[in-house]
Amino acid sequence: AQSVTQLDSHVSVSEGTPVLLRCNYSSSYSPSLFWYVQHPNKGLQLLLKYTSAATLVKGINGFEAEFKKSETSFHLTKPSAHMSDAAEYFCVVKDNQGGKLIFGQGTELSVKP
Amino acid sequence: DTAVSQTPKYLVTQMGNDKSIKCEQNLGHDTMYWYKQDSKKFLKIMFSYNNKELIINETVPNRFSPKSPDKAHLNLHINSLELGDSAVYFCASGRESGNTIYFGEGSWLTVV
């Protein structure tokens, strides 16, 4: 069975400093991995996706993630946090049977001025 | 143009009532989904339809009945609402052969 584990339930950074949100995955197949963001009382927005092409994936709003098979990780990073980045972030793997998305528990990112 | 739209966005109702949440997508996708987000923000799939046929039913109580009149619509009907049904319900769509799933804005259901 496929799964993802987000290693931190809450991350707090100062504006202008780097962001690192950690995600490990478990999959018997070559996985399709995603990061979604949810701002307060809003829907889910796709940040980026990995689908067995380049291992370094660039997304919207300056975010990127690197697929590391040896570490079974797909960590999300951003060089410089902005106040508007404060939100809940979900690491997601797509199940190869049925196509459903399997979500991690979420990481709440706080950005301090 | 909203790609995946769901209504209502907010719904407050009493226990025992029956309610529906509607979802429409204008992306030409062949697969639609309902996900539930609980109070701890955990998201889990409820149903998946492909070309109007039920593909995934994740041990959801029979009180929840999805209906797909056509490929662009997937509605969720809930009978005899219970307090524990309070959650955010997300509709989503994608292509069976594709990798990206697009979500609606969510419907906040509160049962009192």
Is B90's Cβ below 8 Å from some Cβ in A?
Answer: yes
Query: Quick check: B100 and A42 CB within 8 A?
Result: no
pLDDT at residue A24 in the model: 97
| Alpha-helix residue ranges (DSSP H) falling in B1-112 | none
Question: What is the reported pLDDT for A52?
Answer: 76
Q: Measure Cα distances from A3 to A26, A93, A101 in Å.
A: 5, 7, 10
Q: Which residues of chain A have pLDDT under 70?
A: 98
Question: What pLDDT digit, counting tens, does each position of A11-36 carry?
Answer: 999 999 999 999 999 987 788 999 99
Neighboring chain B residues of A47 at a CB cutoff of 8 Å: none
- For B5-36, how does the pLDDT look when each residue is reduced to its tens digit (9 = 90+)? 999 999 999 999 999 999 999 999 999 999 99
CA B57 to chain centre: 12
pLDDT at B15: 97
> What gap in Å lies between CA B56 and CA B74, rounded to an integer?
13
Please report the pLDDT score of residue A108 as a whole number: 97
Contact B44 A94 (CB under 8 A): no
**Facing A49 at nearest CB: one of B58, B99, B106:** B99
For the cut 70, the answer to whether the pLDDT of residue B87 exceeds it is: yes
Check whether B83 has a pLDDT greater than 90: yes
Q: Residue A4: which of A16, A17, A22 has the closest Cα?
A: A22
Chain A residues whose CB is inside 8 A of the B105 CB are 42-43
pLDDT at residue A96 in the model = 74
Q: What does the alpha-carbon distance between residue B5 and residue B73 come to, in Å, rounded to a whole number?
A: 10
The alpha-carbon gap from B41 to the nearest alpha carbon of chain A, in Å, equals: 7
Nearest residue of B to residue A44, measured between CA atoms? B103
Which of B40, B45, B103 shows the shortest C-beta gap to A44?
B103
| B27 at interface of A, judged by CB pairs closer than 8 A | no
